[in-house]
Structure 1
Amino acid sequence: MNRFAELLDRLAYEPGRNNKLRLITSYFREVGDPDRGYALAALTGALSFKHAKPALIRDLIAARTDEVLFGLSYDYVGDLSETVALMWPRGIVNDNQSFLGHPPPQPSPTRGEGAQQRIWRATNEVTDRDPESDGRTALNVPSPLAGEETSFARSGGQGGRYPGRDADASLRPRNHNNPPPPTLTDVVTTLRTLGKTDMPAQLARWLDELDETGRWALLKLVTGALRIGISARLAKTAAAALGDKDPHEVELIWPGLSPPYLDLFAWLEGRAEKPVNRDPAPFRPVMLAHAIEDTDFATLDPADYIAEWKWDGIRVQAVAGRDDRGHITARLYSRTGEDITGSFPDLVPSLRLPGAIDGELLILRDGRVQSFNVLQQRLNRKVVSPKLIKEFPIHLRAYDLLGDDENDLRQLPFAERRERLETFIKKLDDARIDLSPTVPFASWEALTAARADPANAGAGEDADAVEGVMLKRRDAPYLPGRPRGQWWKWKRDPHIIDAVLMYAQRGHGKRSSYYSDYTFGVWTSGENGDELVPVGKAYFGFTDEELLQIDRFVRRNTTEKFGPVRHVVHEPEKGLVLEVAFEGLQRSPRHKSGVAMRFPRISRLRWDKPPREADRLETLEKMLKADESLPTINAATGTGGH
């Protein structure tokens, strides 16, 4: 576990992508199975432990520290795992402390004992010869004093999380019978089978056995909140580099693999053949688009691209295939590969031909596509009743064909896949699945006009469900991830309002020292005149410089404190106005205002505008009146589609 903890520590402070890749690849090369496989699973988000919740971590630390001190510390640090790791009592296992006030036996210099211990005490250096390590590693640097290898992350070197704290067991006095720190495999395999009632005691034992960096990494791991600037794609790329493979090869076989990926590493190291996915209906890693900027058009040729509508639903993959007995197996996947078949049983019978469709899940009533707010009635449902199916009939609008029977089409150019898709949908001949139409255009000016008026550009009565256009190169293969220049998304211009900052809260991870989560409101008439009511919360959209400006404003204008939340001055003549961009509105009983925003973000700071000139709730109500039949919902946010 210490080796994995050190890797996370180094990655958290390493800004360069190439350096991160080298660190991860070195770890995979130097650490054996199955630890490296579980590390890859952790970095790609493939691990989850249902009983390890933040509330449990808070209960553990509350029983060992002063509640007020922990609250103040958590507010300052901003990260639960790091706060607990720093405050966890350093008991016998950590520091070889004595029992009942009796000092432990001291090593005898005359017998040559304690030399390494005295070196550590004199230099405050720390080695990292973990039971998982085989000695010298790419993560270590040599100690100039002891001739030993020293952990860079905890020896006071640049980037260490806790420099000069908690020596590794190899330099500690050995006059105790404490168990060694757990390995990553120990942690993962134990948590998989551990019951809910046994979880607190086991976590406490591990926290006692680990040093501060180890405790931090353990808590990050079990709560699923790594947040160290590593994407799943980057981790897979690092694994591919171990065997000089193309990252796309790893992506393509990834859905058929499972932790600890023994067959994957065997192939990467040339010890076995490439793994084969035997699943008759596997998920294929999705291809994503870049948001297009105005400056991009000058470098693009309209003749190289096909345009299609960007529908406001959720991106899915509908897959069907034959099992060993020749029977059709059908599944529906989210864009992240989650099996959501059970939530949409009414669509499964339509997937009767072997193939893999990339498309958008929508609600279709009387031939018209409904808004995303209506679609939300079908999302995240554990139980789907016949009444729900009847009132919210699901529909699949197809964009792309990734597989046709046993033929993998992903390497074909998009124009050819599109032709195959048209044939496939015609052959399928099912009312629940149709083809997303393309948008004809000969110039960027023509496409601009179509984007501004989709109703007269082919979308017809479904224009309200269009959130922009997609541009796809005619010759583009279907590549996992977000390859540059192949697909572009050009969303419709967002709604803009001016709102007033009301509350602020510290962020997490690298933003834990800044107030970066903002709740904002608009004016409405109250019993005592105009008052502000919250309408949304945003934590991105601003630049680093603007973050510093808002953080400074919050600190200087806090009027009340509610735990980690700061009540910021918001009066008609004093406060901060934020220009907020958002994709849409929906009614929500969870908010005092009765409305909630979709995808709000801060687009500009209006230092020039007094709070009294910010928008009113009536403005948002007018936006909602465009769809009077919109049902009341509980969710405050949604997820975009294509």
Structure 2
Amino acid sequence: MKRFAQLLETLALTPSRNRKIEALAEYFATTPDPDRGYALAVLTGALSFAHIKPARLKEVVLAEVDPHLFALSYDYVGDLGETIALIWPHTGGTRALPALSDLIELLNTTAKSDVAALITELLTSAAINERWALVKLATGGLRIGISERLAKTALAEMSGIDLKEIEEIWHGIKMPYGALFSWLEGKSPKPDIHHTARFHPLMLSNPIDEERDFDLLDPADFAAEWKWDGIRVQLILGAGEVSLFSRTGEDIGAAFPDVTGSVFGRGVLDGELLVGHALVPAPFNALQQRLNRKTATERLMAEHPGFIRVYDMLFDGDADIRALPWSERRQRLEHFFASGAQTRLDLSETIPFADWAQLGAIRRRGADENGHEGVMIKLRSAPYVPGRPKGNWYKWKRDPNLVDAVLMYAQRGHGKRSSYYSDFTFGAWRGTELVPIGKAYFGFTDAELRQLDKWVRTHTIQSFGPVREVEKSLVFEVAFDSAQLSTRHKSGVALRFPRINRIRWDKPAGEAAQLAEVEALIPAT
């Protein structure tokens, strides 16, 4: 556990991406199995503990520490793990903690009624950095600038094996990843995982640069489709088995049995998960009713039936067709749909266009009349390449909506932002009352963050733990993709993908948007 705690400390304190990769690669190369495998699982979010939640950890600490002191400390530090590590009143470092693999087994097998005693013992035994690592391990909330892809990049750096090869088998291997490390170190062949038993890394697009790219691209070389407002999924149709994965490789089939139980055929398809009756997409807010659920109720499936709008094919039956150009994959996909009527699959239409100006006009009309997110532009000759290759797929999103909103609340950030107020809730006027319509935590520079943090501290009118209510006098110009109805917001409205476009230091709060202006942007249903 000591080495893992040192690794987490290094990663948390190192802003350099390359240095993080070096630290990870060194750890994986010098740490024995199965500890390095469990470390990989923790770093990539593949490991969780059913009986250990942040609330349980707080209970343990509050049994030893004055609640008011803890609240003040947590408010100042902004990170639960760091707060517990610093405030725990018992002398640490008195004995060595178990190895990482043994510790994980202990956390997994301890009865719920004994968890509090176990956590108390571990925190008392641990040194300060080990306490912090323990909390991070137990809650899964690392927030140290590590992504799954960064961890895989470190494995490629360690082994000299191409990152794409690692991604090919990633979702077919199980922790503690003994077979993976054996292959990476040249001790055994590459794990042989059938294509129907694993997720295949997706091909991603790049934003189009309107001022530069269109001058370099020949419209005759490209096809266009609508950009659908759902979530990207991969559907794997095997022999008597159907799997549905999110874009990150999470198996979400159990949440959409109406889809997986109704499709047929053989192959691997790429598309957009949507909800709506008769294959007509409903607004994204309707899809949100079904997301982040482990299972779906009959009522939800009846109200918001799921379906997939398919736009690419990776495997045709058992044939891997990713090396074929888009145009040939599209022909095979059309043949797949022609072979039998599907009730939960729909083929994404292509958009005829002669030049970029015409496509731009179509894009604007689609956004205004149908609420489309924009268009996708795909090179006809492009193979299906995992990752974000340049020049193959482009997304040309509709112009963002803009609204002037008033800052209402500010909350401390996490990680390197834990000392700053960086999460901002803003609202619009409903008569003389401000009501919240969204929250944003990006869109500003580091210099602007420091300005905003100082403003929040000097204009606070009330504190609620890590949240401060501020004077209603600062206006943000907020950019967002769309507005939608929301029962979770007092305003009844929520903004999709809001970000701070500009800080309007110059604008009086009374001139910010009325709620009716925002409601007018909600697509008709």
TM-score tier (shorter): over 0.9
Structure 1 residues 502 and 396 mapped into 2: Cα distance closer, same or farther (>3 Å)?
Answer: same
User: Is 1:94 matched with 2:10?
Assistant: no
The aligned counterpart of 2:464 is: 562
Q: How far apart, CA to CA, are the structure 2 residues paired with 1:364 and 1:398? A: 15
The aligned counterpart of 2:11 is: 11
Structure 1 residues 265 and 397 mapped into 2: Cα distance closer, same or farther (>3 Å)?
Answer: same
Amino acid at match of 1:618: A
Amino acid at match of 2:28: F
Q: How far apart, CA to CA, are the structure 1 residues paired with 2:73 and 2:180? A: 42
Q: 1:518 offset after TM fit, Å?
A: 0.9
The aligned counterpart of 2:146 is: 230
* Range moving further from structure 2, 262-271 or 445-454: 445-454
Q: How far apart, CA to CA, are the structure 2 residues paired with 1:518 and 1:241? A: 38
* Contact kept in structure 2, 1:506 and 1:514, CA below 8 Å: yes
Structure 1 residues 43 and 479 mapped into 2: Cα distance closer, same or farther (>3 Å)?
Answer: farther
After superposition, the C-alpha distances for 1:24-63 in whole angstroms (9 at most, x for unaligned) are 1111111111111111112222111122211112112212
TM value normalised by structure 1: 0.77
Structure 1 residues 485 and 510 mapped into 2: Cα distance closer, same or farther (>3 Å)?
Answer: farther
Q: 1:615 offset after TM fit, Å?
A: 0.8
Structure 1 residues 266 and 522 mapped into 2: Cα distance closer, same or farther (>3 Å)?
Answer: same
Q: 1:367 offset after TM fit, Å?
A: 5.5
The aligned counterpart of 2:349 is: 437
User: Is 1:586 matched with 2:484?
Assistant: yes
* Contact kept in structure 1, 2:169 and 2:198, CA below 8 Å: no
* Contact kept in structure 2, 1:334 and 1:340, CA below 8 Å: yes
Percent of counterpart pairs with the same letter?
A: 54
Q: Unaligned regions of 5+ residues in structure 1, if any?
A: 96-177, 323-327, 457-462, 630-642
Amino acid at match of 2:170: W
Q: 1:281 offset after TM fit, Å?
A: 4.1
Mapping for residues 623-642 of structure 1, pairs under 5 Å:
623-624=521-522, 626-627=523-524
The aligned counterpart of 1:175 is: none
The aligned counterpart of 1:270 is: 186
2:364 aligned to which of 438, 441, 452: 452
Q: 1:439 offset after TM fit, Å?
A: 2.1
Q: 3-state DSSP class of the match of 1:605?
A: strand
The aligned counterpart of 1:140 is: none
Q: How far apart, CA to CA, are the structure 2 residues paired with 1:14 and 1:299? A: 39
Name the larger-Rg structure: 1
Q: 3-state DSSP class of the match of 2:484?
A: strand
Q: How far apart, CA to CA, are the structure 1 residues paired with 2:365 and 2:118? A: 60
User: Is 1:345 matched with 2:257?
Assistant: yes
Amino acid at match of 1:393: P
After superposition, the C-alpha distances for 1:132-156 in whole angstroms (9 at most, x for unaligned) are xxxxxxxxxxxxxxxxxxxxxxxxx
The aligned counterpart of 1:422 is: 334
Structure 1 residues 259 and 367 mapped into 2: Cα distance closer, same or farther (>3 Å)?
Answer: closer
Q: How far apart, CA to CA, are the structure 1 residues paired with 2:195 and 2:355? A: 44
The aligned counterpart of 2:383 is: 477
Q: 3-state DSSP class of the match of 1:540?
A: coil
Amino acid at match of 1:414: W
1:490 aligned to which of 396, 412, 432: 396
User: Is 1:215 matched with 2:123?
Assistant: no
2:510 aligned to which of 582, 591, 612: 612
The aligned counterpart of 1:134 is: none
Q: 1:620 offset after TM fit, Å?
A: 2.1
The aligned counterpart of 1:184 is: 100
Q: How far apart, CA to CA, are the structure 1 residues paired with 2:266 and 2:252? A: 18
The aligned counterpart of 1:102 is: none
Q: How far apart, CA to CA, are the structure 2 residues paired with 1:284 and 1:554? A: 45
Alpha-carbon RMSD = 2.2
User: Is 1:362 matched with 2:260?
Assistant: no
Q: How far apart, CA to CA, are the structure 1 residues paired with 2:23 and 2:323? A: 31
Q: 3-state DSSP class of the match of 1:197?
A: helix
TM value normalised by structure 2: 0.94
User: Is 1:309 matched with 2:211?
Assistant: no
* Contact kept in structure 2, 1:287 and 1:478, CA below 8 Å: yes
The aligned counterpart of 1:84 is: 84
Q: How far apart, CA to CA, are the structure 1 residues paired with 2:48 and 2:383? A: 33
1:553 aligned to which of 436, 446, 455: 455
Q: How far apart, CA to CA, are the structure 2 residues paired with 1:334 and 1:211? A: 39
The aligned counterpart of 2:242 is: 330
Amino acid at match of 2:231: I
